[in-house]
Amino acid sequence: MLIDSHAHIQGSEYAGEVDAILTRARTQGVETIIAVGGAGDMSSNTEAIALAERCGDVYATVGMHPHDAKDVGEEELRRLGELTKNQKVIAVGETGLDYYYNHSAHDVQRKIFSRFIDMARATRLPIIVHERDAVNDAMDLLRNEGRGELRGVIHCFTGDYEAARNYLDLGFYLSFTGIITFKNADALRDVVRRVPLEKLLIETDSPYLTPVPYRGKRNEPAFVRFVAETVAALKGIALDEVGRVTTQNTRALFGI
């Protein structure tokens, strides 16, 4: 059994195909999919919830990507706070900091990330963190604003082992994507080897980051199996063990 802990299958890339995508996922042993909100605009959140309400094996999260922090005001935060009350909403996010693309100013990103940290603390929901080229600021906010009360995951982790260890010390899980199957990802594969399986999640980040052998095509939850197989090979353990432990980790974090 596998869980795709981070996918955006509510997006327009899958219009009219969601049922087929869910069927393909199930045939590959993917029993649960977490549809993550916050990619693009507010509609990604309401659409994630609608999908989760329709499909028993899909859960939703609500947030806004750091790229779009500049578009998040008090009204958006209020609406997202209301959405967290839905029974199928299991986390706040995705949210965080992205200093690679700089679609929103750094100070604005930090301000909005701090507000989402507050939301996670207030609702007692775990937080899904997107962090790229911003490890020091992200760590500072999670430590100081989280006040030791946060649970969460660093999604699509691509940092070095020092960053991994620091996040683990905060009690966070690390989630890995199809990037670990890429030819030039030796350093990241070494991090996977060193991170305890008990602190590791797997995801697709669909429709992005499609793993080998389908790299270059649209990603989908069925392909999380390739991520799990790579983790198994790197750690020298059975695929069933990766599935069992990562599923247990995901269920424990998100309460599903």
User: Residue 131 forms beta bridges with which residues?
Assistant: 97
Query: Is the confidence at residue 225, as pLDDT, over 80?
Result: yes
pTM of the predicted protein model: 0.96
Query: Is the confidence at residue 190, as pLDDT, over 80?
Result: yes
Secondary structure percentages of the chain, helix, strand, coil, to 5: 50, 20, 35
Percent of the chain whose predicted confidence (pLDDT) is above 70: 100
**174-207 as b/e, with b when 16 or more CB fall inside 10 Å?**
bbbbbbbbeeebeebbebbeebebebbbbbbbbb
**Multiple choice CATH, 2-254, 1.20.1250.20, 3.40.50.1100, 3.20.20.140, 3.20.20.70:** 3.20.20.140
Mean pLDDT, the chain, integer:
97
pLDDT digits (tens, 9 = 90+) for 124-180: 999 999 999 999 999 999 999 998 999 999 999 999 999 999 999 999 999 999 999
pLDDT digits (tens, 9 = 90+) for 5-56: 999 999 999 999 999 999 999 999 999 999 999 887 899 999 999 999 999 9
Average pLDDT over residues 58-70: 97
Query: Is the confidence at residue 100, as pLDDT, over 90?
Result: yes
* pLDDT recorded at residue 248: 98
